[in-house]
Amino acid sequence: MDKTEIIEKIHYFLVDEFEVEEDDLTPEAHLKETLELDSLDFVDLVVAVESSFSVKLVGDDFKGVVLLQDFYDLIERKIS
Amino acid sequence: MKYALVTGGSRGIGRAVCIQLAQDSEYHILINYNSNKVAAEEVKAAVEAHGKTATLLPFNVTDATAVQTALDTWQDENKDAIIEVIVNNAGITKDGMFMWMPQEDWHTVINTSLNGFFNVTNHLVQKLLRNRYGRIINMVSVSGLKGNPGQTNYAAAKGAVIAATKSLSQEIAKRNITVNAVAPGFIKSDMTADLDEKELKKMIPANRFGAVEEVAHLVSFLASKKASYITGEVISINGGIYS
Protein backbone atom coordinates (compact mmCIF):
# COMPACT_ATOMS: atom_id res chain seq x y z
CA MET A 1 0.00 0.00 0.00
CA ASP A 2 1.53 3.34 -1.01
CA LYS A 3 1.29 6.60 0.90
CA THR A 4 -1.50 8.02 -1.27
CA GLU A 5 -3.62 4.98 -0.59
CA ILE A 6 -2.95 5.24 3.15
CA ILE A 7 -3.97 8.89 3.15
CA GLU A 8 -7.13 8.17 1.16
CA LYS A 9 -8.18 5.45 3.56
CA ILE A 10 -7.52 7.62 6.61
CA HIS A 11 -9.49 10.47 5.09
CA TYR A 12 -12.30 8.13 4.25
CA PHE A 13 -12.90 6.98 7.81
CA LEU A 14 -12.28 10.39 9.33
CA VAL A 15 -15.04 11.85 7.18
CA ASP A 16 -17.32 8.85 7.31
CA GLU A 17 -17.07 7.80 10.96
CA PHE A 18 -15.75 10.85 12.75
CA GLU A 19 -17.70 13.50 10.88
CA VAL A 20 -14.57 15.51 10.14
CA GLU A 21 -14.98 18.16 7.40
CA GLU A 22 -13.15 17.10 4.25
CA ASP A 23 -11.75 20.63 3.78
CA ASP A 24 -10.02 20.39 7.17
CA LEU A 25 -7.99 17.35 6.15
CA THR A 26 -4.57 18.83 5.58
CA PRO A 27 -1.28 17.33 6.79
CA GLU A 28 -0.83 20.31 9.13
CA ALA A 29 -4.24 19.85 10.76
CA HIS A 30 -4.14 19.29 14.52
CA LEU A 31 -6.02 16.12 15.40
CA LYS A 32 -7.42 17.65 18.56
CA GLU A 33 -7.74 21.36 17.79
CA THR A 34 -8.60 21.42 14.09
CA LEU A 35 -10.26 18.08 13.62
CA GLU A 36 -11.81 18.16 17.10
CA LEU A 37 -10.93 14.59 17.90
CA ASP A 38 -10.91 14.21 21.67
CA SER A 39 -8.96 11.65 23.64
CA LEU A 40 -11.96 9.30 23.75
CA ASP A 41 -12.17 9.37 19.94
CA PHE A 42 -8.79 7.65 19.85
CA VAL A 43 -10.49 4.45 21.04
CA ASP A 44 -12.58 4.51 17.89
CA LEU A 45 -9.58 5.56 15.83
CA VAL A 46 -7.75 2.41 16.93
CA VAL A 47 -10.67 0.26 15.80
CA ALA A 48 -10.94 2.09 12.47
CA VAL A 49 -7.20 1.69 11.84
CA GLU A 50 -7.25 -1.97 12.79
CA SER A 51 -10.09 -2.76 10.41
CA SER A 52 -8.78 -0.59 7.56
CA PHE A 53 -5.11 -1.53 7.73
CA SER A 54 -5.06 -4.79 9.72
CA VAL A 55 -2.47 -3.45 12.14
CA LYS A 56 -2.60 -3.29 15.93
CA LEU A 57 -2.28 0.03 17.73
CA VAL A 58 -1.84 0.65 21.43
CA GLY A 59 -2.18 3.87 23.40
CA ASP A 60 1.60 4.45 23.40
CA ASP A 61 1.65 4.55 19.59
CA PHE A 62 -0.17 7.87 19.74
CA LYS A 63 2.55 9.55 21.79
CA GLY A 64 3.86 12.40 19.66
CA VAL A 65 0.97 12.15 17.22
CA VAL A 66 -0.30 15.73 17.09
CA LEU A 67 -0.83 16.54 13.42
CA LEU A 68 -2.59 14.57 10.74
CA GLN A 69 0.84 14.17 9.09
CA ASP A 70 2.07 12.40 12.26
CA PHE A 71 -0.88 10.06 11.96
CA TYR A 72 -0.11 9.26 8.31
CA ASP A 73 3.50 8.55 9.33
CA LEU A 74 2.40 6.31 12.21
CA ILE A 75 0.25 4.16 9.96
CA GLU A 76 2.98 4.00 7.30
CA ARG A 77 5.47 2.84 9.96
CA LYS A 78 3.06 0.24 11.26
CA ILE A 79 2.33 -1.19 7.84
CA SER A 80 5.95 -1.43 6.75
CA MET B 1 -27.65 -9.33 23.98
CA LYS B 2 -26.78 -6.98 26.79
CA TYR B 3 -25.11 -8.15 29.96
CA ALA B 4 -24.37 -7.02 33.47
CA LEU B 5 -21.22 -8.41 35.06
CA VAL B 6 -21.13 -8.70 38.83
CA THR B 7 -17.80 -9.61 40.37
CA GLY B 8 -17.95 -11.55 43.61
CA GLY B 9 -21.50 -12.43 42.64
CA SER B 10 -21.90 -15.70 44.47
CA ARG B 11 -22.54 -14.42 47.97
CA GLY B 12 -23.74 -11.54 50.12
CA ILE B 13 -24.31 -8.21 48.42
CA GLY B 14 -23.06 -9.54 45.06
CA ARG B 15 -25.61 -12.32 45.13
CA ALA B 16 -28.42 -9.88 45.94
CA VAL B 17 -27.27 -7.55 43.14
CA CYS B 18 -27.38 -10.38 40.57
CA ILE B 19 -30.92 -11.29 41.59
CA GLN B 20 -32.13 -7.68 41.77
CA LEU B 21 -30.75 -6.85 38.31
CA ALA B 22 -32.47 -9.94 36.94
CA GLN B 23 -35.68 -8.74 38.50
CA ASP B 24 -35.50 -5.07 37.51
CA SER B 25 -33.64 -4.96 34.20
CA GLU B 26 -33.38 -6.59 30.82
CA TYR B 27 -29.78 -7.55 31.39
CA HIS B 28 -28.52 -11.07 31.31
CA ILE B 29 -26.27 -11.67 34.24
CA LEU B 30 -22.62 -12.68 34.24
CA ILE B 31 -21.88 -14.02 37.71
CA ASN B 32 -18.21 -13.90 38.55
CA TYR B 33 -16.98 -15.94 41.48
CA ASN B 34 -13.59 -17.07 42.67
CA SER B 35 -14.02 -20.31 44.57
CA ASN B 36 -17.57 -21.01 45.72
CA LYS B 37 -19.10 -22.76 42.72
CA VAL B 38 -22.01 -24.22 44.68
CA ALA B 39 -23.10 -20.78 45.87
CA ALA B 40 -22.65 -19.36 42.35
CA GLU B 41 -24.84 -22.12 40.91
CA GLU B 42 -27.55 -21.18 43.42
CA VAL B 43 -27.41 -17.55 42.30
CA LYS B 44 -27.63 -18.69 38.68
CA ALA B 45 -30.78 -20.65 39.49
CA ALA B 46 -32.28 -17.65 41.32
CA VAL B 47 -31.56 -15.40 38.32
CA GLU B 48 -33.08 -17.92 35.93
CA ALA B 49 -36.18 -18.06 38.13
CA HIS B 50 -36.72 -14.44 37.06
CA GLY B 51 -36.67 -15.45 33.41
CA LYS B 52 -33.17 -14.17 32.69
CA THR B 53 -30.11 -16.11 31.67
CA ALA B 54 -27.07 -16.25 33.84
CA THR B 55 -23.55 -17.37 33.01
CA LEU B 56 -20.93 -18.30 35.56
CA LEU B 57 -17.54 -16.71 34.95
CA PRO B 58 -15.03 -18.06 37.44
CA PHE B 59 -11.88 -15.98 37.78
CA ASN B 60 -9.84 -14.33 40.46
CA VAL B 61 -10.11 -10.55 40.01
CA THR B 62 -6.59 -10.08 41.37
CA ASP B 63 -5.11 -12.03 38.46
CA ALA B 64 -5.06 -9.72 35.43
CA THR B 65 -4.25 -12.54 33.02
CA ALA B 66 -7.04 -14.73 34.35
CA VAL B 67 -9.50 -11.82 34.07
CA GLN B 68 -8.50 -11.14 30.46
CA THR B 69 -8.58 -14.80 29.47
CA ALA B 70 -12.00 -15.41 31.01
CA LEU B 71 -13.58 -12.29 29.53
CA ASP B 72 -11.99 -12.71 26.10
CA THR B 73 -12.97 -16.37 25.89
CA TRP B 74 -16.54 -15.52 26.84
CA GLN B 75 -16.60 -12.66 24.30
CA ASP B 76 -15.26 -14.93 21.54
CA GLU B 77 -18.09 -17.33 22.24
CA ASN B 78 -20.62 -14.49 22.36
CA LYS B 79 -19.59 -12.15 19.55
CA ASP B 80 -22.64 -9.90 19.68
CA ALA B 81 -22.75 -9.64 23.46
CA ILE B 82 -22.13 -6.30 25.13
CA ILE B 83 -21.29 -5.94 28.78
CA GLU B 84 -23.07 -2.70 29.54
CA VAL B 85 -23.03 -2.81 33.33
CA ILE B 86 -20.02 -3.63 35.49
CA VAL B 87 -20.54 -4.05 39.21
CA ASN B 88 -17.14 -4.25 40.88
CA ASN B 89 -18.21 -5.96 44.04
CA ALA B 90 -15.44 -8.47 44.78
CA GLY B 91 -13.75 -7.62 48.04
CA ILE B 92 -12.37 -9.20 51.16
CA THR B 93 -11.48 -8.11 54.65
CA LYS B 94 -8.40 -9.04 56.65
CA ASP B 95 -8.93 -6.97 59.74
CA GLY B 96 -6.31 -6.31 62.36
CA MET B 97 -4.44 -3.54 64.08
CA PHE B 98 -2.10 -1.85 61.64
CA MET B 99 0.90 -2.27 63.93
CA TRP B 100 0.51 -6.05 63.75
CA MET B 101 -0.64 -6.26 60.14
CA PRO B 102 1.30 -8.76 58.03
CA GLN B 103 2.27 -7.54 54.56
CA GLU B 104 0.17 -10.27 53.06
CA ASP B 105 -3.03 -8.96 54.69
CA TRP B 106 -2.31 -5.51 53.34
CA HIS B 107 -1.62 -6.67 49.79
CA THR B 108 -4.42 -9.24 49.57
CA VAL B 109 -7.06 -6.68 50.50
CA ILE B 110 -5.64 -4.01 48.17
CA ASN B 111 -5.27 -6.54 45.36
CA THR B 112 -8.86 -7.68 45.56
CA SER B 113 -10.70 -4.37 45.88
CA LEU B 114 -8.42 -1.92 44.12
CA ASN B 115 -6.50 -4.00 41.59
CA GLY B 116 -9.60 -6.12 40.98
CA PHE B 117 -11.44 -2.94 40.00
CA PHE B 118 -8.57 -2.05 37.64
CA ASN B 119 -8.20 -5.51 36.10
CA VAL B 120 -11.87 -5.88 35.23
CA THR B 121 -12.79 -2.30 34.37
CA ASN B 122 -9.66 -1.48 32.40
CA HIS B 123 -10.16 -4.55 30.25
CA LEU B 124 -13.77 -3.69 29.44
CA VAL B 125 -13.82 0.09 29.30
CA GLN B 126 -12.78 0.46 25.64
CA LYS B 127 -15.77 -1.62 24.61
CA LEU B 128 -18.03 0.52 26.79
CA LEU B 129 -16.61 3.64 25.13
CA ARG B 130 -17.35 2.25 21.69
CA ASN B 131 -20.81 1.27 22.90
CA ARG B 132 -21.33 4.90 23.98
CA TYR B 133 -23.33 3.80 26.98
CA GLY B 134 -22.51 2.05 30.18
CA ARG B 135 -22.73 1.84 33.92
CA ILE B 136 -19.85 1.15 36.26
CA ILE B 137 -20.75 0.67 39.90
CA ASN B 138 -18.05 0.15 42.48
CA MET B 139 -18.86 -1.38 45.83
CA VAL B 140 -16.93 0.53 48.45
CA SER B 141 -17.61 1.00 52.15
CA VAL B 142 -18.22 3.48 54.90
CA SER B 143 -14.69 2.47 55.98
CA GLY B 144 -13.31 4.01 52.80
CA LEU B 145 -15.03 7.30 53.62
CA LYS B 146 -14.43 7.73 57.34
CA GLY B 147 -11.80 5.12 58.14
CA ASN B 148 -12.26 2.40 60.70
CA PRO B 149 -9.82 1.13 63.34
CA GLY B 150 -8.67 -2.37 62.49
CA GLN B 151 -9.40 -1.84 58.80
CA THR B 152 -6.51 0.28 57.57
CA ASN B 153 -6.01 -2.04 54.61
CA TYR B 154 -9.71 -2.25 53.72
CA ALA B 155 -10.25 1.51 54.21
CA ALA B 156 -7.20 2.26 52.05
CA ALA B 157 -8.45 -0.03 49.28
CA LYS B 158 -11.98 1.35 49.34
CA GLY B 159 -10.79 4.94 49.65
CA ALA B 160 -8.64 4.43 46.58
CA VAL B 161 -11.56 3.00 44.64
CA ILE B 162 -13.61 6.06 45.63
CA ALA B 163 -10.91 8.35 44.20
CA ALA B 164 -10.70 6.22 41.06
CA THR B 165 -14.48 6.37 40.71
CA LYS B 166 -14.40 10.17 40.72
CA SER B 167 -11.53 10.41 38.22
CA LEU B 168 -12.82 7.80 35.81
CA SER B 169 -16.32 9.27 35.88
CA GLN B 170 -14.93 12.57 34.61
CA GLU B 171 -12.88 10.89 31.88
CA ILE B 172 -15.76 9.03 30.30
CA ALA B 173 -18.95 10.92 31.16
CA LYS B 174 -19.10 12.34 27.63
CA ARG B 175 -19.81 8.86 26.29
CA ASN B 176 -22.87 8.29 28.48
CA ILE B 177 -20.99 6.07 30.85
CA THR B 178 -21.58 6.73 34.51
CA VAL B 179 -19.22 5.63 37.25
CA ASN B 180 -20.51 5.61 40.80
CA ALA B 181 -19.64 4.06 44.11
CA VAL B 182 -21.95 2.56 46.70
CA ALA B 183 -20.75 2.75 50.29
CA PRO B 184 -22.59 0.38 52.60
CA GLY B 185 -22.30 0.50 56.37
CA PHE B 186 -23.13 -2.55 58.46
CA ILE B 187 -25.00 -4.96 56.21
CA LYS B 188 -26.07 -8.45 57.28
CA SER B 189 -23.88 -10.81 55.25
CA ASP B 190 -21.08 -13.37 55.62
CA MET B 191 -18.68 -10.45 55.95
CA THR B 192 -20.39 -9.17 59.10
CA ALA B 193 -21.50 -12.54 60.50
CA ASP B 194 -18.92 -12.45 63.28
CA LEU B 195 -19.81 -8.95 64.44
CA ASP B 196 -21.86 -8.28 67.57
CA GLU B 197 -24.95 -6.81 65.95
CA LYS B 198 -26.75 -6.24 69.25
CA GLU B 199 -23.92 -4.04 70.49
CA LEU B 200 -23.07 -2.32 67.19
CA LYS B 201 -26.61 -1.36 66.28
CA LYS B 202 -26.65 1.02 69.25
CA MET B 203 -24.48 3.41 67.25
CA ILE B 204 -26.58 3.17 64.09
CA PRO B 205 -29.37 5.77 63.98
CA ALA B 206 -31.63 3.29 62.16
CA ASN B 207 -30.94 0.87 65.04
CA ARG B 208 -30.32 -2.14 62.81
CA PHE B 209 -27.97 -3.63 60.26
CA GLY B 210 -29.00 -3.19 56.64
CA ALA B 211 -30.13 -5.99 54.36
CA VAL B 212 -28.25 -7.00 51.21
CA GLU B 213 -31.43 -6.42 49.23
CA GLU B 214 -31.46 -2.77 50.28
CA VAL B 215 -28.00 -2.31 48.80
CA ALA B 216 -29.02 -4.23 45.70
CA HIS B 217 -31.94 -1.85 45.10
CA LEU B 218 -29.53 1.08 45.05
CA VAL B 219 -27.17 -0.70 42.66
CA SER B 220 -30.09 -1.61 40.42
CA PHE B 221 -31.16 2.06 40.30
CA LEU B 222 -27.64 3.21 39.44
CA ALA B 223 -27.49 0.55 36.72
CA SER B 224 -30.69 1.83 35.16
CA LYS B 225 -31.34 4.64 32.68
CA LYS B 226 -33.09 6.50 35.51
CA ALA B 227 -29.65 7.32 36.93
CA SER B 228 -28.27 8.81 33.70
CA TYR B 229 -27.19 12.14 35.22
CA ILE B 230 -25.59 10.73 38.35
CA THR B 231 -21.88 10.14 37.98
CA GLY B 232 -18.78 10.39 40.14
CA GLU B 233 -20.92 10.00 43.25
CA VAL B 234 -20.35 7.96 46.35
CA ILE B 235 -23.74 7.02 47.72
CA SER B 236 -23.83 5.95 51.33
CA ILE B 237 -26.27 3.32 52.48
CA ASN B 238 -25.66 2.96 56.16
CA GLY B 239 -28.74 3.68 58.28
CA GLY B 240 -27.41 7.13 59.10
CA ILE B 241 -24.16 6.06 60.71
CA TYR B 242 -22.09 8.47 58.64
CA SER B 243 -22.87 11.17 56.13
Give the pLDDT score at B243: 85
B86 with B126: CB under 8 angstroms? no
- Count CB neighbours of B199 within 10 A: 8
B216 with B19: CB under 8 angstroms? yes
Q: Do B130 and A38 touch (CB under 8 A)?
A: no
Q: Does A40 lie at the interface with B, CB-CB under 8 angstroms?
A: yes
Give the pLDDT score at B153: 98
Residues of A in contact with B175 (CB under 8 A): 40
Query: What angle, rounded to 10 degrees, do the helices at B12-24 and B212-222 form?
Result: 50
Give the pLDDT score at B176: 97
Lowest mean pLDDT among A7-11, B17-21, B226-230: A7-11
Q: pLDDT digit string (tens) for B116-151? A: 999 999 999 999 999 999 999 999 999 999 999 999
In terms of Cβ atoms closer than 10 Å to its own Cβ (0-12, 13-18, 19+), residue B184 is buried
CATH architecture of A3-79: Orthogonal Bundle (1.10)
Residues of B in contact with A38 (CB under 8 A): 174
Q: At residue B191, does pLDDT exceed 90? A: no
Give the pLDDT score at B21: 98
Mean pLDDT value across residues B13-38: 97
Q: Does A56 lie at the interface with B, CB-CB under 8 angstroms?
A: no
Q: At residue A25, does pLDDT exceed 90? A: yes
Task: Tell me the domain boundaries of chain A.
Answer: 3-79
Q: pLDDT digit string (tens) for A38-52? A: 888 888 888 888 888
Mean pLDDT value across residues B158-180: 97
Mind listing the domains of chain B with CATH numbers?
2-237 (3.40.50.720)
Give the pLDDT score at B102: 98
Query: Which residue out of A38, A40, A41, A42 would a mutagenesis test of the B interface target, given it has the greatest number of B Cβ atoms within 10 Å?
Result: A40
Q: Do A43 and B174 touch (CB under 8 A)?
A: no
Q: Which helix (H) or strand (E) holds B28?
A: strand B28-33
Q: Does A44 lie at the interface with B, CB-CB under 8 angstroms?
A: yes
Q: pLDDT digit string (tens) for B144-153? A: 999 999 999 9
Q: Which helix (H) or strand (E) holds B82?
A: strand B82-88
Using CA coordinates, name the residue in chain A closest to B174. Answer: A40
Query: What angle, rounded to 10 degrees, do the helices at A41-53 and A3-18 form?
Result: 140
Residues of B within an 8 Å Cβ radius of A: 126, 129-130, 171-172, 174-175
Q: Do B129 and A38 touch (CB under 8 A)?
A: no
Residue B59: DSSP 8-state: -
Mean pLDDT value across residues B84-103: 97
Give the pLDDT score at B165: 98
Confidence of residue B89 (pLDDT cuts 50, 70, 90): very high
CA distance linking residue B101 with residue B105, whole number of Å: 7
Residues of A in contact with B126 (CB under 8 A): 43, 46
Which of B130, B172, B175 is opposite residue A47, by nearest beta carbon? B130
Q: At residue B190, does pLDDT exceed 90? A: no
Is B229 tagged catalytic? no
CA distance linking residue B116 with residue B70, whole number of Å: 14
Mean pLDDT value across residues B177-196: 94
